[in-house]
Structure 1
Amino acid sequence: MKQTPAAPFFTGVWAGMAPLVVWAAHFAFGYVAIAVACVGAPPDPQGLRAVLLGATALAFLVLAAMLWRASSLNGHAQLMRRVGALLSLIGVAWSGVPVVLLPACVP
């Protein structure tokens, strides 16, 4: 199958967006997990906290691997992937701080 000239562009766009997708998935998972755990039956705050910290650690590992991989590239692609990975690491840390500092379900 013949590769079109646009295919490398979209591959590069996806590679640049992948860290932001990880950040968005972490953010959405955190809010959905808290919403589900805090509604209905009495919540297990320690279990919820462990799940959220595990998700945060997993997101950090994936983003650190993406940042490490971006350091082997050259030129403009390296800069864009590094910036995306660094912004995503900051975003995951920012949304992970309340998990550590605040109680899970406050009536």
Structure 2
Amino acid sequence: MKESTKEAPIASAIFFLLTGPILWAGHFLLVYGVQSVVCVVGSGAGAPPDLIQTSIVVVTLGAILLLCFALFFPGRLAHVLRYETADPHNRIFSIRVERLLSLLSLIGVIWSGTSVFLIDVCGLLR
């Protein structure tokens, strides 16, 4: 009889590998969604740009912290997401892919987060 190997569920594997892009997409949603809503709703009373800048900085720092956790502690992230694989080669490969995607997402989050200091937050929405 064949010995059964413990395979990771496909959902946990997808979430593990795509942690960085998922966090990056969530960062985009929070930054640009909140910014657009506050600029449009507050346009009559004058949208407070300091509040928008502060919220973008806080969201960006939170995303950076989560991405750094995913980048430096992939074993703990895999444990949290219940991602396990019996083959050590698959584990090494999936950790490398997760780290690469998290690094690319970290660069994207930093790039979009620093734009708050370069561009008027409600300038294009007026």
User: Partner residue of 2:107?
Assistant: 90
User: Partner residue of 2:88?
Assistant: none
Give the Å deviation of 1:105.
Answer: 1.2
Aligned mates of 2:15, 2:39 — CA distance in 1: 35
Equivalent of residue 64 in structure 1, options 65, 68, 87:
68
Task: Pick which of 50-59 and 37-46 moved more.
Answer: 37-46
Aligned mates of 2:70, 2:7 — CA distance in 1: 23
Give the Å deviation of 1:40.
Answer: 3.2
Gaps spanning 5+ residues in structure 1: where?
none
> Which one scores higher on RCO, CA 8 angstroms, separation ≥ 6?
2
Q: Which has the higher helix share?
A: 1
Deviation sequence 1:35-92 (CA, Å, 0-9, x none): 1111133100001100000000000000000001127895201211111110110110
Give the Å deviation of 1:6.
Answer: 6.1
Larger-gyration structure (1/2):
2
* One-letter amino acid of the counterpart of residue 115, structure 2: P
Q: Which runs of 4+ in 1 moved over 4 A?
A: 71-74
Q: Normalised by the size of structure 1, how large is the TM-score? A: 0.84
Answer whether contact 1:20 1:84 (CA < 8 A) is retained: yes
Identity %: 29
Aligned mates of 1:86, 1:44 — CA distance in 2: 33
Q: Normalised by the size of structure 2, how large is the TM-score? A: 0.73
Gaps spanning 5+ residues in structure 2: where?
1-5, 79-90
CA RMSD of aligned residues (A): 2.3
Is residue 2:121 matched to residue 1:104? yes
Equivalent of residue 76 in structure 1, options 84, 93, 113:
93
